Amino acid sequence: MPQASSVKTAYSAAEPINIASIDMGSNSFHMVIAQLVHNEIRPIEKIGEKVQLGAGLDDKLMLDEASQQRGLECLQRFAQRLQGIPPSRIQVVGTNALRIARNAQDFVVKAEAILNSPIAIISGREEARLIYLGVAHSLSDDAGRRLVIDIGGGSTEYVIGDRFEPIELESMHMGCVGYRDRFFTNKANEVTATPEQFKAAITEASRELLAIKKRFKKVGWQHCTGSSGSIKAIQQALQENKLSPHAITLPTMLELQKQLMDGGDKPKSYSATLDRLNIRKDRQTIFAAGLAILIAAFQTLKIQEMEFSDGALREGLLYDALGRTQHEDVRERTISSLQARYQIESSHAAAVEATACRMFDQLMAAKATDEALAGYWRDILQWSARVHEIGLAISHTQYHRHGAYLLEHSDLQGFSQRVQHLLSILTRTHRRKLSDDLFADLLPDDRPWVIMLAVVLRLAVIIHHDRSLNEPAALAINMKDNTYHLSFQDDWLAERPLSQADFSAEIAYLQRIKVELIVESSASIVSSSSK
């Protein structure tokens, strides 16, 4: 596994430091390199390449070799520019194409090897949150709510927020690459733009938008901002063809649509029209699709006008990382929200967390593990401890299974799909029977870490089985190979026959995943895997 990003250590230096983020989108890959000076982010270089990863998805949702190769070659060029920036200062995310590709992990493993940085595949709503954060930091601090729309290659994000806080978030499966292939390609696989094609695309996008129309209109907004290459291309076309000097409006887009359809039924004449309208070559095949999506948004949501912002997902990644160093980590708010929503007993969760982290720290001290890597896994352990009883809101019976389902399928702001899956696994495995199958889908580098966290969390849960908030005064743990040695001093264990029974059962549970546990008090070994 590449070195984990540790924002707390990487972004806390007093001297100016270089940081970077990479957004691997369905249409383009983007990278921004910035300098952090006195807690202010100053972009110094932006690079983007049209990769069209989403175009490589077949009908079985598998990325073909050609699209993967385009992406990897782009990342190799990015990696050359990233030389000198520690991996812990680089944030990398994948969006729609990698969310839905069944073989996404094959690509991610190769990409991580090139960048030497971990890659997070984020959910649509998490993508929307980060886009909003990037846009909000790029604009003046106007009063009132703002609607932000970002048209990507595979999805379009819609967000309403106030200043830096999102209120409504939605990611919809309508993107310029997907809509091009679906609506603006003829039988010969050539790109065209006819009235019938526009009508079909606008109708479909409008139909999809009905799902959020009422909710978004109820919240309302005073300003509307667009981000992404598609909206930037539309704004530039309006300006260069003297249709609108500044804002994007529905009448000006309809006029642009009319001009596109002039000869749009024939690929050669359509290409000539795009050239005449000064549409950039790398945007030409997806331009009509992006325009259709934006027209549908204006018509359905009754948008009057839109301004454009260069702020986007990649900038949002940097501001989100900076916020974590200033005690504004949205992931902490998400976990607290889960505790409140599902009525988790926070005092008990905190006791389990403290004991689990105490054991984890002892194990890390003995291994002399890289600080950033240890911090990454310690965070996951803490979050898991805080929500390990989330399933009790559904039923006490098999609550660890219910909790795992909730964590796997909820929209958790700030969390990548990978980390969200790890939280689900740790909740599923914090009690009762274990098997190798529960850890089977983990990456090879992740598996030993997750098993260690599962063991530590299970032991902490046993120690606090009586709901006591006090942890043992003298507790020590060490590990060699797959054997854990847990010891208690004084009479703590001798005075707790229930805990002794729990540890005896735990020994049998852990043996099923080839982990040995030895538990002893200061007097003698109470439980051992080698009976």
What is the pLDDT averaged over residues 395-418? 95
| 130 domain-assigned | no
| 423 domain-assigned | yes
Whether 24 and 52 share a structural domain? yes
In this predicted model, what pLDDT tens digit does every residue of 437-450 receive, in sequence order? 999 999 888 999 99
Whether 368 and 500 share a structural domain? yes
Q: Are 469 and 440 in contact (CB under 8 A)?
A: no
Residue 7: per-residue pLDDT: 44
DSSP label of 390: G
What is the pLDDT averaged over residues 105-115? 97
User: Which segments of 126-232 are extended strands (E)?
Assistant: 145-151, 156-162, 165-172, 223-227
Residue 453: per-residue pLDDT: 99
In this predicted model, what pLDDT tens digit does every residue of 491-503 receive, in sequence order? 889 889 999 999 9
Helix axes 497-511, 447-463, angle to 10 degrees: 160
Whether 353 and 469 share a structural domain? yes
Whether 219 and 343 share a structural domain? no
Residue 162: per-residue pLDDT: 94
**CATH code, domain carrying 231:** 3.30.420.150
In this predicted model, what pLDDT tens digit does every residue of 297-309 receive, in sequence order? 999 999 999 999 9
What is the pLDDT averaged over residues 506-526? 86
What is the pLDDT averaged over residues 112-117? 96
In this predicted model, what pLDDT tens digit does every residue of 172-208 receive, in sequence order? 999 999 999 999 999 899 999 999 999 999 999 999 9
Separation of alpha carbons 421 and 426, rounded Å: 9
| 198, two tokens | 């526009």
Whether 281 and 350 share a structural domain? no
Listed residue (6, 27, 2) closest to 312, CA to CA? 27
Separation of alpha carbons 58 and 355, rounded Å: 48
Q: Which of 279, 308, 337 is the last residue of a domain?
A: 308
Q: Which of 249, 274, 308 is the last residue of a domain?
A: 308
What is the pLDDT averaged over residues 502-508? 97
Q: Assign 139 a pLDDT band (cuts: 50, 70, 90).
A: confident
| 188 domain-assigned | yes
**CATH code, domain carrying 505:** 1.10.3210.10
Burial of 348 (0-12, 13-18, 19+ CB in 10 A): middle
What is the pLDDT averaged over residues 29-51? 92
Q: Assign 262 a pLDDT band (cuts: 50, 70, 90).
A: confident
Domain count for the chain: 3
Listed residue (169, 168, 145) closest to 157, CA to CA? 169
| 27 domain-assigned | yes
Whether 190 and 81 share a structural domain? no
Rounded to the nearest integer, the mean pLDDT of the chain is: 92
| 346 domain-assigned | yes
Whether 110 and 153 share a structural domain? no
Whether 47 and 96 share a structural domain? yes
What is the pLDDT averaged over residues 6-33? 79
Residue 523: per-residue pLDDT: 54
| 135 domain-assigned | no
Whether 154 and 115 share a structural domain? no
Whether 267 and 345 share a structural domain? no
In this predicted model, what pLDDT tens digit does every residue of 149-181 receive, in sequence order? 999 999 999 999 998 899 999 999 999 999 999
| 484, two tokens | 């854990």
Q: Is the pLDDT of residue 530 over 60?
A: no
Q: Is the pLDDT of residue 73 over 90?
A: yes
Whether 221 and 171 share a structural domain? yes
**CATH code, domain carrying 106:** 3.30.420.40
Whether 181 and 294 share a structural domain? yes
| 318 domain-assigned | no
| 178 domain-assigned | yes
What is the pLDDT averaged over residues 70-95? 96
Q: What is the Cβ-side half-sphere exposure of residue 344, based on CA atoms within 13 angstroms?
A: 26
Q: Is the pLDDT of residue 142 over 80?
A: no
Show the CA angle centred on residue 409, arms to residues 51 and 467, nearest 5°: 135
Q: Which of 76, 93, 122 is the last residue of a domain?
A: 122
Residue 325: per-residue pLDDT: 62
Dihedral sign for Cα 388, 390, 396, 401, please. Answer: negative
Domain membership of residue 101 as a residue range:
7-122
Residue 9: per-residue pLDDT: 42
- Report which listed range, 314-323, 373-382, 484-493, is most confident: 373-382
